[in-house]
Amino acid sequence: MPPELALYITRYGYVAIFSLVFLQEIGIPNPVPNELILLFAGYLASIHVLSLPLVFVTVVMADFIGTSLLYAFFYLFGDYVMDHKPKWLPISKEKIMKLSDKISKREQWGIYVGRLIPYLRGYTSVAAGLLKIRPRVFLTAVIVSAITWSGSYALVGQFMGKYWQEFAGQLGGYESIAFLAIALLIIIYGIRYAVRYRQKRKERLEVEK
């Protein structure tokens, strides 16, 4: 992470963290990936510069509010934007179409999973807006995904403590972040499978009785 950005976050604390995460969630790129900012915020909590509960709430709300505004914009104006899309607007119709197909079939679960995949997080909100997914469905999935994604990164940064700087130096780009995200998805799918297995087993036992 650039020293200037680290100093900015350290000096302005929650306001800096919220603004950086929020801006990237609405589609404005940051000098560094959001994941590094989230990890650094957790690191600051580990050395008692910031409060971990407040960091957690800040990153989750920045994620939730930012992507909700992106969804709302495309929910209201998406058709016009896509019909008159300027060449410089970094929105791939191909990615949106693929995501739209998955979201239309799975709705809430599709939105949740899409928000946990690097590169596709923003596209998921755009696709949900274009599909006119009901706000209640979208907002429920997004608040859970914000807790899972942004909250988890902040917690990892806090638990890493003094090892954060060494890790950040080795984190050369999105490839490592993508690896973390994939690991997170494996854990989520594992939990989901275990819950379903226990539920089916319980139902089978009740039938046998």
pLDDT of amino acid 51: 93
Where are the chain's structural domains?
3-171
pLDDT tens across 45-102, in order?
988 899 999 999 999 999 999 999 999 998 998 777 777 665 645 566 666 666 676 6
C-alpha distance across the termini of the chain, in Å: 60
The Cα–Cα gap between 201 and 198 comes to: 5
Q: pTM score > 0.95 for this model?
A: no
Cα 92 off chain centre by: 19
Q: What is the pLDDT of residues 107-154, one digit of tens each?
A: 778 788 888 887 778 888 888 888 888 899 899 999 999 999 999 889
Q: Please report the DSSP string for 144-163 in residue order.
A: HHHIIIIIHHHHHHHHHGGG
Residue 200 contacts by C-beta under 8 Å, 6 or more apart in sequence? none
